Amino acid sequence: MNHNSTRKHMDIAPQRPHQSFKKSKTFTYRQKLGIGLVLLILVIFVVGGRWFIHRNDLRVDTSQYHALLLDNDQFFFGKLQNTNGEYLTLKNAYYVKGADQLSSDGQTLVTQTPSMQKLNA
């Protein structure tokens, strides 16, 4: 067996030429379609997520009067505004005046007929 003939056979393997520049990548129609679908799905998720977060805002009817009970047992009635903000606003507000209250000395309970009073604000 000839040792040189075996060596020649091993050196015949194809070699890629060295390229010093980068080839510009062009996308096929299928790749462009895939990217477009991914972007469309992303837009649907963003819009749907915003709707999901703000869907509770639609439940407050700002044209109707609502009752508001504070921690100090005061009742207010009015139209809720600013439902998207951090703090609610009560427009056309009324409060109950004349229900059971303590007298000025703080000792006697005075019972009066309750009435609605417009809040001047």
**Residue of 98, 100, 99, 96 lying closest to 118 (CA atoms):** 96
Which of residues 120 and 56 earns the better pLDDT score?
120
- Determine the pLDDT at residue 20: 57
- Determine the pLDDT at residue 16: 64
Percent of the chain with pLDDT strictly greater than 90 = 11
Pick the range with the lowest mean pLDDT from 21-30, 59-68, 95-104.
95-104
Q: At 117, is the pLDDT very low, low, confident or very high (cuts 50, 70, 90)?
A: confident
Task: Name the residue type at position 43.
Answer: V
Q: At 63, is the pLDDT very low, low, confident or very high (cuts 50, 70, 90)?
A: confident
- Determine the pLDDT at residue 82: 80
Residue 29, both tokens? 């129609």
Q: At 83, is the pLDDT very low, low, confident or very high (cuts 50, 70, 90)?
A: confident
State the Cα–Cα distance between residues 118 and 121, nearest whole angstrom.
9
The number of residues in the chain equals 121
State the Cα–Cα distance between residues 95 and 68, nearest whole angstrom.
9
pLDDT (mean) for 24-47: 89
Q: Which helix (H) or strand (E) holds 52?
A: helix 29-54
Query: Does 38 have pLDDT greater than 90?
Result: yes
CA separation, residue 17 to residues 13, 20, 23, 24 (Å): 13, 10, 14, 17
Which of residues 58 and 113 earns the better pLDDT score?
113
Contacts of 110 (CB under 8 A, 6+ apart): 100, 101, 102, 103
Which of residues 113 and 76 earns the better pLDDT score?
76
